[in-house]
Amino acid sequence: MYNTISQLISASREKPMHEVIIDDEMALTGVPRGDVYLRMHTSFSVMQKSALKALDTPQHMTPPLIKGQSSLQHKYADGATLCGKEVNEMMAMALSASEVNASMGRICAAPTAGSCGILPAVITTAAKKLGSNKNEIAEALIVASGIGAVIMRNATVSGAEGGCQAECGAAAAMAAAACVYLSHGTPQMCAEAVSIALINCMGLVCDPVAGLVQLPCSFRNASQSANALSSADMALAGQTCPIPADEVIEAMFRVGHALPSSLRETAEGGIAATQTGKKISAEFFAAK
């Protein structure tokens, strides 16, 4: 039984963290344990398809604000880059899922549609590097989901309620914990990764241009993927955060509520309210 990260870590002294989470899922929904794995395999398969679909094929959306972002990054990844091929490929995957989402394609909300690129991009990248098998990936996704459930229960994953830190931030925290788990880090390291990832984006606002799930959403999916991977590496290196993950989650929630409504998905603040942002919006709503 767990409702907090600290309870999750305590319970994980008795058995692996994914088992603790599966037990709670079975108690809640009555779904057999094998089905939890099966459903995670299905979710991950949808995630992967969305992360690969736009790598070579720009997706059509109206207006085409982010069309072709993924293929641009994918092509660039092969050349002389600063972050290296892996990180650039990861960002291309996050951008792909964002393009697919904006084009009314099929995605898996993780935890939301607007942040649907982060978990697929980060987990695919880490799993490839570590040579993880299908069940290990499902278990890492179960850990990510357990962390996400705590954030949903004790804070929020809604951009309208908590800003982008709640959506892409939560996704980054979940992905960071999943990577630590894939790397066989300890439960405490998973918690540290959650803290670090959330701290790194605390206060991030939700300011979609024209109210569309395109800009800045796609860039934030890419950058929060990098946040997740680097937070996992910091936790695996042994970095610790004196503020426990549960308190960081609470802080994120309070910061979200302190944000003015203009910075919580209303398209009235941030880059949505810039001269150009308003122009794009006016043109979109004027078009038939």
Partner 1 sequence: MNISLFDVVGPVMIGPSSSHTAGAAKLARVASGIAPRGFAALFIQLAGSFAKTGKGHGTDKALLAGALGFSESDERIREAYQIADERGIKYAFSDIDLPDAHENTARLTFKYADKPDFTVEGSSIGGGRIIITEIDGSKTSFNAEAPTIVIRQLDKPGVVNDVSGILAESGINIAVMRLDRDSRGGMANCVIETDANIDENTVSALEHVTNVVSVRAINL
Residues that bind partner 1 (CB under 8 A): 1-3, 21, 24-25, 28-29, 36, 39-40, 42-43, 46, 62, 100-114, 116, 119, 141-142, 144-146, 148-150, 152-153, 157-158, 174, 210-214, 267, 284-285
| Three-state secondary-structure class, residue 206 | strand
Closest to 190 measured CA to CA, from 244, 133, 132, 136: 244
Assigned token pair, 226: 């990098």
Closest approach, Cβ 78 to partner 1, in A, equals 28
76 vs 284, which CB is nearer to partner 1? 284
With 0-12 / 13-18 / 19 or more C-beta atoms within 10 angstroms meaning exposed / middle / buried, residue 1 is exposed
Instruction: Output 148 or 277, the one with its CB closest to partner 1.
Output: 148
Cβ at position 222, least distance to partner 1 in Å: 17
C-beta closer to partner 1: residue 28 or 82: 28
CB-based contact 47:140 (threshold 8 Å): no
> What is the chain's Cα-based Rg?
18
Calpha distance 31→9 (Å, rounded)? 23
The one-letter amino acid code at 164 reads: C
Q: How far apart are CB 160 and partner 1 at their closest, in Å?
A: 8
Kindly tell me which of 88 and 98 has the beta carbon lying closer to partner 1. 98
Minimum distance from CB of 237 to partner 1 (Å)? Answer: 27
- Smallest distance, partner 1 to C-beta of residue 211, A: 4
**Closer residue to partner 1 (CB): 171 or 234:** 171
Round to whole Å and give the CA distance between 224 and 228.
6
